[in-house]
Amino acid sequence: MRRAPFGWIIGGLALLLAAEVIVAAGSGFLEIPFKEVIRILLAQLSGTGSSISLPRELPPVVVMDVRLPRIITAALVGGGLAASGAVFQGILRNPLADSYTLGVSAGAAFGAALALLADFTLLGVWSVPALAFAGAVATLLAVIGLAGAGAEGDFSSSNLILSGIIVAAILSAGVSFIKYLADEQVGIIIFWLMGSFASKGWGDAGLVAVAVGLGGALFCFFSRELNLLALGSRTAGSLGVSPRKAALVLLVGASLVAAVCVAVSGIIGFMGLLVPHMVRFVTGPDNRRLIPASLLAGACLLLCADTVTRAVLPREIPIGVITALIGGPFFCVIYRRRMQPWK
Amino acid sequence: MLTTEDINFSYGDKGLFNGLSVSFAPGCFYGIIGPNGSGKSTLVDLLCGHLRPGRGMVTLSGRRLDGHSRKALARRIALVPQELRMDFPFTCYEMVMMGRYPHIPRFAGPGEEDHRIVAAVLDATGLAEMADRCIQRLSGGERQRVVFARALAQQTDVLLLDEATAHQDMQYALGLLNLVAGRAAQGGLVIAVMQDLNLAALYCDKLVCLHQGRLYAAGPTAEVLTSAMLRAVFRVEARITRDPDTATRRVAFARGAAKCA
């Protein structure tokens, strides 16, 4: 089995992402030619942005203040969900795991629904994301506590998955109950749960950038340990990894990245599951290649989906619905192909 | 020298070892024998630092195991476990290269020396042809050989084998044991849990016999492997003979009155 050269994969994905950003920034209700987009971006980067926006023309304002924050948020969330999905699959030794397997999304959904029901506005626009984040973290702690440590002092993947499913089931029942209680707010709750990048600002983009940047660095630092964790704790230990410590650090890191992504954008399914799966075909299973490539591929894919719903479709459909509607069947196809090893 | 000093170990409230002391000297091939549940695998886990004794200590060259860093330990002790589970499509070559991780800095790629060692080990274990094949498409015996090769690539002076030849046919079982016996002859320390007493007699210089968490006997193979021991520990009848050419012991089992219950 020959693996494609890593530099080409990363270079290709980075070019694709850059092209997507330019196309996405140009398309929408107000069409802006690509040359103009590039000129605006270059002017901003070189610090002369203020001089062209002095007369407050429309295109620079639309690109810089409306589209770019949304584009960057979507790309970062896509990358964060995909990279954390790859990490979850490694720790749980299960190619079908993702950030939602451990109930992180259900916790975020519960927190957000609670904030919307109680009309919690203490933290301004950050009220709902803050409670969503708190819900995700509390869920993670509950799942880790429930799964406990095995007799050998490490996390058993089946314990974690089972605990995640139990906790997620309880929480989704809780979300249903909140929807039942919320009379006129039920629409807002449902809309939040479906996920959206509409009206994301630079604040959101910055927050996700910090989380995905720190998380991505952590994942890359521990990617070799992650390779060994997939062999089981006994073998990982004999190859120089402290299995319990490495698993805990990666588990918490990946959950925090996923929690920030979900808190900012709502529930966007299938990214964490699908992207590492597709990327693994090209890079192979080595996490030192898989994680950076998943980060870029996830960014490309979610930005593409968000641009389609924002600028191509006649009416904006929640992004979570798009990723599930396209990702689900697509996943079925590649999953079946993998089940038949002679192909 | 790998030593357990008066160690206690229990799983929950089920005690297993109570004051077990045994030491393993370099340059020697040790076999650990004993019936199911006698603590063979647990002893291996304690010796490689995967499990920690409740009381007492395990020492390597006079220093406690937990005084070594995990990575330093991985450069001294390699483990071939019984089972191999791998749910990701690594190639054979990539799996064996993982044995070099403890020797390669975190962000560096494998060097020429690492590639050379992996290629040599793949050759020696009969895996050279399948180096680029995905691990999930190998047979059980081939996978176990990959695990074996990974431990050899680790190039440690201590090798722990936990029934490492259980899935091999005779050619590979003898071939793999010859490889590790060669390591012992060069001054390495090999400790192998063995279920097949005839293989143990053929390869081990010394035997450690465990019975219900206690050290029943330890010493040169010819002294430990007796009909009386087999009757008392394994509850089977057997005659021990001596091969006139090689002077190794052979166990001829009798169907006798052996029962499961």
Structural domain span for residue A319: 8-342
Give the tokens for residue A222.
């521990």
Mutate to test the interface with B, among A222, A229, A239, A340 (most CBs of B within 10 A): A239
DSSP B213: T
- A31-49, pLDDT tens digit by residue? 888 888 888 888 888 776 5
- Contact criterion met (CB below 8 Å) for B94 and B127: no
Q: How far is Cα B205 from Cα B258, in angstroms, rounded to an integer?
A: 28
Out of A94, A230, A234, closest to residue B86 by CB: A230
Task: Quote the percentage of chain B above a pLDDT of 70.
Answer: 100
pLDDT at A149: 58
pTM of the full structure: 0.89
The closest of B79, B153, B161, B80 to B123, measured between CA atoms, is B153
Quickly tell me which residue has 């799964």 as its tokens: A147
Q: What is the CATH number of the domain that holds A57?
A: 1.10.3470.10
**Confidence bin at A342 (pLDDT 50/70/90):** very low
Q: Amino acid identity, residue B197?
A: L
Residue ranges of chain B with pLDDT lower than 50?
A: none
Q: Is residue A2 part of a domain?
A: no
Q: Is residue A307 part of a domain?
A: yes
Distance from CA of A136 to the nearest CA of B (A): 28
Which residues 6+ apart lie within 8 Å of A302 measured at CB?
Answer: A74, A75, A77, A78, A79, A81, A268, A271, A319, A323
Out of A95, A224, A234, closest to residue B88 by CB: A95
Mutate to test the interface with A, among B88, B101, B144, B193 (most CBs of A within 10 A): B88
Residue of chain A whose alpha carbon sits nearest to that of B150: A239
For all residues of chain A together, what is the average pLDDT?
Answer: 86
Q: Is residue A3 part of a domain?
A: no
Antiparallel, parallel or unpaired: β B55-60 and B2-11: antiparallel
Q: How far is Cα B242 from Cα A321, in angstroms, rounded to an integer?
A: 75
Taking CA atoms, A86 is separated from A124, A326, B260, in Å, by 34, 20, 47
Distance from CA of B244 to the nearest CA of A (A): 41
Q: Amino acid identity, residue B13?
A: D
Q: Do the Cβ atoms of B74 and A1 come within 8 Å?
A: no
DSSP B91: B
Q: Is residue A179 part of a domain?
A: yes
pLDDT at A73 over 80: yes
Q: Is residue A286 part of a domain?
A: yes
Phi and psi, residue B4, nearest 5°: -105, 130
Quickly tell me which residue has 């191509």 as its tokens: A312
Q: Do the Cβ atoms of B101 and A240 come within 8 Å?
A: yes
> How many domains, chain A?
1
Taking CA atoms, A180 is separated from A183, B17, B92, B188, in Å, by 7, 58, 54, 70
Sheet strands side by side (includes B55-60): B14-24, B2-11, B55-60, B63-64
- Contact criterion met (CB below 8 Å) for B78 and B100: no
Q: Is residue A305 part of a domain?
A: yes
Q: Is residue A28 part of a domain?
A: yes
Q: Is residue A1 part of a domain?
A: no
Which residues 6+ apart lie within 8 Å of B76 measured at CB?
Answer: B60, B68, B156, B157, B158
